[in-house]
Amino acid sequence: MFIDTHCHLDAYEEFSKESLDALFERLRSNTAKLSAGPTANGEASWNSPKNAKEDFVQMPEAFIHVACSPESFDRGVELSEKYPFVFTAYGIHPECVLRETPSDEERLLELLKHPKAIACGEFGLDYHYGKDTRKQQLNLFQRHLQLGIQSGKPLVLHLREADDNTQQYIDSVNAAAQTDADKLADAQNITHHYLGETRNFSRCDDDFAASTRFGLLADPWVVTPNIINQDNFTHGGFDNFENSQSISVEKWDGVLPAIEDGKIYQTTFAALPAGTYHLHFYVHANSGFSANECLLRVVSGDAFPGLATKDGVLATYDVRTGGYNGTVDACTFQLDEPTVVTIGFLFNIPEQNNGRAMRVNDLRIYDSANRDVTSKYLQNYTNIQRKDLSYRRFGQPTFWTVENFEISNGTDGTKHGIDKYAGDNELMLGVWNDAGNAKGSLRDAKLYQRVTLPAGDYFFGAAYEACYNIASGNLFVGTSALTAATTKTKALAYLPLSEAATDGKWYGKEFSLREPTELYLGWNIDLTTASTQEFRARELALLRLGDKRAEEAWQLGEELKANEVSRLLTAKNALNAEGKAVLTLERGCEVELGHALLDGVTAVELWTNTLYSVAQDATLSLYLDDDFDPVATCQASDVQSTTPQRSVLYLPALTGIHRLTLQVYGTQCNLWKAVLSNEEDGIGSPSSAQPATNHGIFDLTGRRVTRPTRGLYIQDGRKIIR
Q: What is the mean pLDDT of residues 156-181?
A: 63
Q: Quick: pLDDT tens for 554-601.
A: 999 999 999 999 988 778 888 775 667 889 887 778 899 999 999 999
Most confident region among 162-176, 282-296, 572-586 by mean pLDDT: 282-296
Measured at the alpha carbon of residue 456, what is the angle toward residues 451 and 457, in degrees to the nearest 5? 95
Q: What is the mean pLDDT of residues 294-302?
A: 95
Q: What is the mean pLDDT of residues 19-33?
A: 77
pLDDT at position 615, please? 80
Q: What is the mean pLDDT of residues 365-374?
A: 94
CA distance linking residue 490 with residue 508, whole number of Å: 17
Q: What is the mean pLDDT of residues 284-298?
A: 92
Residue 686 has pLDDT above 50, yes or no: no
DSSP summary character for residue 324: S
Spell out the residues 6+ positions from residue 709 whose beta carbon is closer than 8 angstroms to its own: 131, 617, 722
Question: Could you tell me if 163 and 170 are in contact, meaning their C-beta atoms sit under 8 angstroms apart?
Answer: no
Residue 303 has pLDDT above 70, yes or no: yes
Q: What is the mean pLDDT of residues 383-391?
A: 74
Residue 699 has pLDDT above 60, yes or no: no
Across the chain, mean pLDDT equals: 84
Most confident region among 60-64, 238-242, 444-448, 686-690 by mean pLDDT: 444-448
Indicate the range of 5-19, 304-318, 610-624, 688-702 predicted with least confidence: 688-702
CA distance linking residue 407 with residue 431, whole number of Å: 8
Please tell me the number of Cα atoms within 13 Å of 297 on its side-chain side.
Answer: 27
Question: Could you tell me if 572 and 587 are in contact, meaning their C-beta atoms sit under 8 angstroms apart?
Answer: no
Task: Name the CA dihedral angle for 448, 454, 455, 458, rounded to a multiple of 10 degrees.
Answer: -50
Class of residue 525 by CB neighbours under 10 A (exposed 0-12, middle 13-18, buried 19+): buried
CA distance linking residue 266 with residue 349, whole number of Å: 21
Residue 190 vs residue 115, higher pLDDT: 190
Helix (H, G, I), strand (E, B) or coil at 216: strand
pLDDT at position 51, please? 40
What's the per-residue H, E or C state across 610-654? ECCCCCCCCEEEEEECCCCCCCEEEECCCCECCCCEEEEEECCCC
Q: Quick: pLDDT tens for 612-650.
A: 778 878 899 999 998 878 999 998 888 877 788 999 999
CA distance linking residue 431 with residue 442, whole number of Å: 9
pLDDT at position 176, please? 35
**The overall pTM is greater than 0.75:** no
Residue 526 has pLDDT above 80, yes or no: yes
Q: What is the mean pLDDT of residues 417-427?
A: 90
Tell me the percentage of the chain whose pLDDT exceeds 90.
Answer: 52
pLDDT at position 52, please? 38
Indicate the range of 36-40, 170-174, 288-292, 378-382 predicted with least confidence: 36-40
Residue 428 has pLDDT above 90, yes or no: yes
**What Rg do the C-alpha atoms of the chain give, in angstroms?**
32
Q: Quick: pLDDT tens for 43-101.
A: 433 333 334 344 444 678 899 999 999 999 999 999 999 999 999 999 999 989 888 88
Q: Looking at the chain, how many residues does it have?
A: 722
Residue 531's pLDDT band (cuts 50, 70, 90): very high
Q: Quick: pLDDT tens for 111-128.
A: 988 989 999 989 999 888
Indicate the range of 354-358, 408-412, 424-428, 706-710 predicted with least confidence: 706-710
Residue 406 has pLDDT above 90, yes or no: yes
Q: What is the mean pLDDT of residues 606-611?
A: 87
Indicate the residue type of 121: G
Residue 22 has pLDDT above 60, yes or no: yes
Residue 171's pLDDT band (cuts 50, 70, 90): low
Please tell me the number of Cα atoms within 13 Å of 503 on its side-chain side.
Answer: 16
